[in-house]
Structure 1
Amino acid sequence: MKDVLVIGAGGVSSVAVHKMAKNPDLFGKITLASRRQFKCDAIAKSVKERFGVDIATAQVDADDVDATAALIERVKPALLVNLALPYQDLTLMDACLKAGVHYLDTANYEPRDVAKFEYHWQWDYQQRFKDAGLMALLGSGFDPGVTSVFATYIKKHLLDRIDTLDILDCNGGDHGQHFATNFNPEINIREITAPARHWENGEWIETPALSKRQVFNFDQVGAKNMYLMYHEEIESLARHLPEIKRIRFWMTFGDQYLKHLEVLQNVGMTSIEPVLYEGREIVPLQFLKAVLPEPSTLGTTTKGKTNIGDIATGEKDGAQKTVYVYNICDHEDAFAETGNQAVSYTTGVPAMIGAALMLNGTWKGEGVFNMEQFDPDPFMDMLNQHGLPWQVKELPEPLKF
């Protein structure tokens, strides 16, 4: 068992810390830190009540490299798990290098002033982590994360060659709100309103946001509209599995959600450009985030299920084949176990699993790595053991979308 420092105190962090505490054979001392320590204390209280485990809490500004490095040196963890905002990835990586500790996150870096999320900023840390003898694992959430591991599992066990890969993310849950996001509203809305991009025949194909729609019948959820989007695992999969000719990402949205989003866009509330209001600059999207429901509070009312997975076409033993690997997660089951809804659960559990595999040396290396660079089998086994069981189906023919 080795000690771990978790940064961030939202829903994903709450799930990850609860699951770490539930598995004392995998984790030693757990320290949870955030800019607002009272949120860490609330999570620690829940962990104590549910599992009888004490976790330490601390206050830290994750934008401050020196302060974070000082906390690392005081806590002396074997691993820093970054479950804060993607804006803070680089400062936390810098702090890990300064203090000499391994690093893990669930989403790639995104500048505050540009709605653009790409891996190159973090990939540029490769030599620095390698020279320091440290490992950084990027994107150990669900998508990115589990969906990338699904792809390598398909390549290892189900197909000799993958020709096309479609990642389908369906949240069939209902939280009863007129408009709310199931994870950080600022990040969520920036992703949805950005132009869609997919990888095809060695180049990026860009289309307007939400302009490509298909209906898909999701197991235990039903028929849902899903929309073509850009998502960061496309970039890393295209780099590490170059045989794949086409990689796309689809996400479901309800009509009511899109109606509200369109109105908010039309009145400028999704903009990240500062505006002057009563003598001070504010960012409309950040103000919107402040008035929307906190995602971590939605668990009490959310019912339904998520269904997220990969559909791959390719060749097996000389024959064309289409396979579907996916997970179904129940919002109410997730809440009963950790006090959080399934969107947080499906990201927090893989963060815990990735951390465990790093700490026990199953996944190891020096430098910066994406999930698909490691053997998928131990991760897939732990998904089944820790609340995210997966299924495999062979589809009779390739999907038409």
Structure 2
Amino acid sequence: MSTVLVIGAGGVSSVAVHKMAMNAGIFTDIHLASRTKAKCDAIAASVKERTGVDVKTYEIDAEEVPAMVKLIDKVQPSLVVNLALPYQDLPIMDACLEAGVDYLDTANYEPKDQAKFEYSWQWAYHDRFKEAGIMALLGSGFDPGVTSVFTMWLKKHKLKTIRTLDILDCNGGDHGQAFATNFNPEINIREVTAPARHWENGEFVETPAMAKKVQFDFEAVGPKNMYMMYHEELESLAKFVPELERARFWMTFGDEYIKHLTVLQNVGMTGIEPVRFQGKDIIPLQFLAAVLPKPETLGPTTTGKTNIGCIATGEALDGSGEKTFYIKNICDHEDAFAETGNQAVSYTTGVPAMIGSAMVVQGLWKGQGVFNIEELDPDPFMDMLNAHGLPWTVEELAAPVDF
């Protein structure tokens, strides 16, 4: 018997809960809680219609630790799956510590008042989780998550060392909106507008946001402009792949997205400092997020594919010299919607959240303390990707890719 408590009711949560229900042999009892119970109820209704599985729902403010502890004590889960906002990571971890239950998330902590996300806050919990005899698994999404597992699978099976690593995230989907983000608008825009950082020669090098643009021809999508930016798996990969000379993260954006984002920045709508309006303090970015289309509503109109993967160059495991491998997944927006009622950006994060949860509750990944996904055996996770909607391919390239 494995009971899970999922926190959050956005698109990623919807996918994860649907996929958990499709694996009732692993997840025998599913509970779902968020600030807005109606969102949980809508997911539960869809799950019931598609799978026949009942999901119990609750209203919770994840930042209220005593309330979270009370809910955990009521549900008695073996794992709390945090699919809420990154701002809520630490209070949920606090609640798990107090209740003595394992924890999993898909994105690292970020303070509300500063557009800065790093693992230091969560890594600081390691000793407390170890002393409590419980496990916290960080970053079980796609990026971070699958891209990190891809990297460690290459290191286990193809490359003795990895000298250079490029993570390529391409969303070739079209949702028909003038401007919309495929995951939480507030988090998306904070990430994109932050300075770019990449790992090179033992340190992070910072460059202006969106300053480096390269065109790349993505399989099943075609040529797309991708921009170098910072993403949290660079921090954990630099720690757990110590021989890395250079690691970069790239994400594609269309010209229309860039045009709208530039205008919004120029008029101050992406700011996170309070602005006084009609006698109340408002955060411009939060107001913008409120008026933009919700990511979970984009599924019915989104077509096209995503293509996310890693290109790694290093010393071959078989001693045959330096080699370059490209490992990736291609996901279809319409197929994802047909299966779970959500577009592929939610799907590619929600499925790995389910798989990471399965690793923990089945004991395939276990430990006491705080762990990043890079520290654990990639093989069972990779097997489940193939079996549950995110099949991957790996190919050897003739030469390193030079961006």
State the TM-score, normalizing by the size of structure 1. Answer: 1.00
Task: Report the alpha carbon displacement of residue 318 of structure 1 after superposing the two structures with TM.
Answer: 3.7
Q: How does 1:213-224 map to 2 (within 5 A)?
A: 213-224=213-224
Aligned to 2:342: 340
Q: How does 1:288-303 map to 2 (within 5 A)?
A: 288-303=288-303
Matched, 1:368 2:370: yes
In structure 2, the residue corresponding to 1:340 is in which secondary structure? coil
Q: Percent of aligned pairs with the same residue? A: 72
Gapped runs of 5+ residues in structure 2? none
Aligned to 1:7: 7
Task: Report the alpha carbon displacement of residue 200 of structure 1 after superposing the two structures with TM.
Answer: 0.5
Task: Report the alpha carbon displacement of residue 291 of structure 1 after superposing the two structures with TM.
Answer: 0.2
Aligned to 1:169: 169
Task: Report the alpha carbon displacement of residue 319 of structure 1 after superposing the two structures with TM.
Answer: 1.2
**RMSD between aligned alpha carbons?**
0.5
Q: How does 1:258-269 map to 2 (within 5 A)?
A: 258-269=258-269
Aligned to 1:38: 38
Aligned to 2:138: 138
- 2:361 aligned residue (338, 359, 362): 359
Gapped runs of 5+ residues in structure 1? none
Give the distance between the partners of 1:350 and 1:85, measured in 2 at CA: 17
Q: How does 1:256-335 map to 2 (within 5 A)?
A: 256-316=256-316, 317-335=319-337
In structure 1, the residue corresponding to 2:162 is in which secondary structure? strand
Deviations 1:267-325 (A, max 9, x none): 00000010000011000000000000000000000000000000000111141111000
Give the distance between the partners of 2:161 and 2:130, measured in 1 at CA: 31
Task: Report the alpha carbon displacement of residue 158 of structure 1 after superposing the two structures with TM.
Answer: 1.0
In structure 2, the residue corresponding to 1:27 is in which secondary structure? coil
Aligned to 1:24: 24
Q: How many residues align?
A: 401
In structure 1, the residue corresponding to 2:174 is in which secondary structure? coil
Give the distance between the partners of 1:175 and 1:26, measured in 2 at CA: 34
Amino acid at match of 1:192: V
Give the distance between the partners of 1:123 and 1:183, measured in 2 at CA: 25
Give the distance between the partners of 1:219 and 1:285, measured in 2 at CA: 34
Aligned to 1:107: 107
Amino acid at match of 1:393: E
In structure 2, the residue corresponding to 1:112 is in which secondary structure? coil
Aligned to 2:383: 381
Deviations 1:173-209 (A, max 9, x none): 0000000000000000000000000001101110000
State the TM-score, normalizing by the size of structure 2. Answer: 0.99
Aligned to 1:155: 155
Task: Report the alpha carbon displacement of residue 105 of structure 1 after superposing the two structures with TM.
Answer: 0.2
Aligned to 1:250: 250
Amino acid at match of 2:347: Y
Give the distance between the partners of 2:55 and 2:187, measured in 1 at CA: 28
Deviations 1:353-383 (A, max 9, x none): 0000100000000000000100100000000
